[in-house]
Structure 1
Amino acid sequence: MDTDPLPLLEDLIRCPSVTPTEAGALDCLEAYLRSAGFHCERLVFSDKGTPDVDNLFARIGKSGPHLCFAGHIDVVPPGRLEDWAAPPFAAFQADGFLYGRGAADMKGSVAAFATAAADAVKAGSFTGSLSLLITGDEEGPAINGTAKVLAWMKENGHVPDHCIVGEPTSAEKLGDTIKIGRRGSLSFDLAVAGMQGHVAYPHKADNPIPKLARLIDRLAAYKFDDGNDHFDPTTLAFTTIDVGNPAGNVIPGRAQARFNIRYNTEHTPDTLIAIVRDACARIEEELGGTFTLDVVNGADAFITEPGAFVGVVLDAIEAETGVHAKLSTSGGTSDARFIKDYCPVLEFGPLNTTIHQVNERIAIADLRHLAGVYRAIIDAYAGRKPA
């Protein structure tokens, strides 16, 4: 790497861009990319009941292959300021680390791939197109961010051949993990109706709690699958149970629960919803009552099969860090869940040990190596023409 990504990252951290506020972070990045020759578009999207979100798309080159780097400059709130070793937006250096909200998640990656891309353009080492998709809505509802930028990109002829998301994927040392897929996420709101009554006369009431308890037991013990080569088994976790009843001598008339299913590519949302509905129907037959379900599909499960594209990234990581990365599908969701509908996508970035924590930080040496990995990917990408 010719350019040190540290100054750009310091500038980005000093912008307190808590979702959905841009706070100058996109201005800073846009100025940097324009100076490197990128054509930049600022894209502000709106939706009913959600805040407007400012996004940035930058591209250089018109021919293929087209490699896109995706990321976000929005960050979670810093929490109690007095718990930080230094102000969370001061970009404080100590003991080889840069401290600040967003240092690892994920302004560090944004600074690293922006400087890597600028260096590659300056050196003339890339023949194709490079682009950056930067949103301010990843840590929030993710409605006016990446999903809408991608739709705009498709309408305007900017769909890339491959995409790398700079999420902090490394677990113990830089380069030990890349994400080639993610589990799907289904969230359920469940309610069972009964009839309120006095506890001394249970036969005159219809208690929904035993019905809900039996369903919880059935679903919590249900084996969905054994996983597969890339995914762990599907899991279900209950998160709340509530009857809204402050009295000890009243049988409630309604019981509610929430749960989430994280699923692999052995299932679709439809197959999982059918399993849950069947379980509800069986309890209704056994104990009576009426179950109602509201379902939110947060993300579909997906996989980017190992091949030439994944190989380019693995080789670049090993060449720069000496680490052979593990291919993983663990963790929660990311904006890769939107990108996978347009092109193959994977995720690679710095350590995730301090993300969303007080004193979030990135090792300065890791930041520089990360930029080196991204530069190596760019230099190899066009020549390898990954499938």
Structure 2
Amino acid sequence: MELKKILKQAEATADEVAELTSGLVKFNSAHPDGYTDKVVEYIKAYCDKHGIENEVHAHDPKKQNIVARVKGSSKKKVIWVGHMDVVPEGKPENWTYPPYSGTIADGSVWGRGSSDMKGSCAAAMVSARILNEMDSIPNTVEYWFTCDEEIGGGAGAKWLAETGKFKGDVCVIGDGNGGGPRAPSIDLGCKGGAGVKLIARGRTAHGSTPFLGDNAISKLIKGVPWVEKIDDFELDFPKDILPVVKGSLEYYKASTPPALYKAMEHNFYTPSVTCNII
């Protein structure tokens, strides 16, 4: 696969991406309804037009998901995940342009969801077209456009994962980042999470005779300092992942205040621990 050729093609698609973004924004997929069926129709029509394999998956008829697939020559698969739903627009009179107009002006696409994340969805659609037009690609790429991301993914990514529809070797989250549209970046993201519940058992006693009891809360309090020490445990990254971590940090160093960069660096290399309720 010729990477330079792909990048050159991608650079020439700015107008196409803008037009697709505008088209996506015109569909009101805001919560509390969060309906994405019309957005899916739009994406499907584009895929069908360009001969891109696609499937619609829906746990709810009005809240649909669609995957666009470009098959590769190996069994390995890259999954791109984005979302079509958006947060409410607030007061329309406060917008420079109507929130669902998809107006293209001043070098931007204006409207609810243009940055979070219908612009990224449009770019993914064009990316699928470019890869589909290649003679061959080494790995299969699936572009998943999902619903319900803004409210926990119940009919979207969560349902797709629980039903075994998400299967791949690498996952790329297409959501935007703090760099903005003119300073895009690829970051190593979520380290994963684990919830741990510590249980201590004791024996109640009257307040006047605490020595006759066995205070379970006191036992748990003794464990708090040890839980907090986990935050200083340096993660052991796989060798092929470490350069991505370092590269992500270096990218932001020049534009990040020193104190914030120090905190960000700590979060990249160590677990984040929260001790909630005793």
TM over 0.5: yes
1:136 maps to 147
Map 1:344-383; keep pairs closer than 5 Å: none
1:307 corresponds, among 224, 240, 255, to: 240
Per-residue CA deviation, residues 239-293 of structure 1 (Å, 9 max, x unaligned), is xxxxxxxxxxxxxxxxxxxxxxxxxxxxxxxxxxxxxxxxxxxxxxxxxxxxxxx
1:8 maps to 20
> Structure 1 pair 227/52, CA: closer, same or farther in 2 (3 Å)?
farther
Distance, in Å, in 1 between the alignment partners of 2:30 and 2:116 is: 12
Q: Any gaps of 5 or more consecutive residues in structure 1?
A: 189-214, 231-302, 318-322, 331-387
Partner-residue secondary structure (3-state), 1:123? coil
- Contact between 2:117 and 2:176, CA under 8 Å: does it hold in 1? yes
Q: Which of structures 1 and 2 has the larger relative contact order (alpha carbons within 8 angstroms, sep 6+)?
A: 1
Map 1:321-332; keep pairs closer than 5 Å: 324=251
2:213 maps to none
1:95 aligns with 2:109: no
Map 1:207-218; keep pairs closer than 5 Å: none
Distance, in Å, in 1 between the alignment partners of 2:111 and 2:162 is: 32
1:70 corresponds, among 69, 81, 105, to: 81
Distance, in Å, in 2 between the alignment partners of 1:92 and 1:125 is: 36
Partner-residue secondary structure (3-state), 1:70? strand
> Structure 1 pair 69/177, CA: closer, same or farther in 2 (3 Å)?
closer
1:117 aligns with 2:128: yes
So what's the TM-score if we normalise by structure 2? 0.63
- Contact between 1:171 and 1:177, CA under 8 Å: does it hold in 2? no
2:51 corresponds, among 26, 37, 46, to: 37
1:180 maps to 189
2:211 maps to none
Distance, in Å, in 2 between the alignment partners of 1:31 and 1:304 is: 42
| 1:74 shift after superposition | 0.4
Distance, in Å, in 1 between the alignment partners of 2:169 and 2:242 is: 10
Counterpart residue type for residue 174 of structure 1: A
Distance, in Å, in 2 between the alignment partners of 1:139 and 1:26 is: 17
| 1:39 shift after superposition | 2.1
Larger CA deviation: 164-173 vs 10-19: 164-173
- Contact between 2:29 and 2:85, CA under 8 Å: does it hold in 1? yes
Partner-residue secondary structure (3-state), 1:34? helix
1:57 maps to 67
- Contact between 1:170 and 1:177, CA under 8 Å: does it hold in 2? no
Counterpart residue type for residue 53 of structure 1: K
1:167 maps to 175
> Structure 1 pair 68/176, CA: closer, same or farther in 2 (3 Å)?
closer
1:28 aligns with 2:38: no
Distance, in Å, in 2 between the alignment partners of 1:61 and 1:128 is: 7
> Structure 1 pair 31/228, CA: closer, same or farther in 2 (3 Å)?
farther
Counterpart residue type for residue 161 of structure 1: D
1:336 maps to none
What number of residue pairs does the alignment pair up? 213
Partner-residue secondary structure (3-state), 2:58? strand
> Structure 1 pair 150/178, CA: closer, same or farther in 2 (3 Å)?
same
> Structure 1 pair 306/165, CA: closer, same or farther in 2 (3 Å)?
farther
> Structure 1 pair 306/58, CA: closer, same or farther in 2 (3 Å)?
farther
Distance, in Å, in 1 between the alignment partners of 2:252 and 2:174 is: 15
| 1:113 shift after superposition | 1.7
Distance, in Å, in 1 between the alignment partners of 2:194 and 2:96 is: 36
So what's the TM-score if we normalise by structure 1? 0.47
Distance, in Å, in 1 between the alignment partners of 2:144 and 2:243 is: 20
Map 1:218-297; keep pairs closer than 5 Å: 224-225=228-229, 226-229=231-234
- Contact between 1:52 and 1:144, CA under 8 Å: does it hold in 2? no
Per-residue CA deviation, residues 106-138 of structure 1 (Å, 9 max, x unaligned), is 111111122012112213352331211111110
- Contact between 2:52 and 2:132, CA under 8 Å: does it hold in 1? no
Counterpart residue type for residue 20 of structure 2: L
Counterpart residue type for residue 50 of structure 2: A
More strand by percentage: 1
Counterpart residue type for residue 24 of structure 2: L
Distance, in Å, in 1 between the alignment partners of 2:110 and 2:243 is: 31
| 1:52 shift after superposition | 6.0
- Contact between 1:178 and 1:325, CA under 8 Å: does it hold in 2? no
Partner-residue secondary structure (3-state), 2:23? helix
| 1:9 shift after superposition | 0.8
Distance, in Å, in 2 between the alignment partners of 1:121 and 1:130 is: 10
- Contact between 2:128 and 2:143, CA under 8 Å: does it hold in 1? no
> Structure 1 pair 86/74, CA: closer, same or farther in 2 (3 Å)?
same
Q: Any gaps of 5 or more consecutive residues in structure 2?
A: 1-9, 198-217, 254-263, 269-278
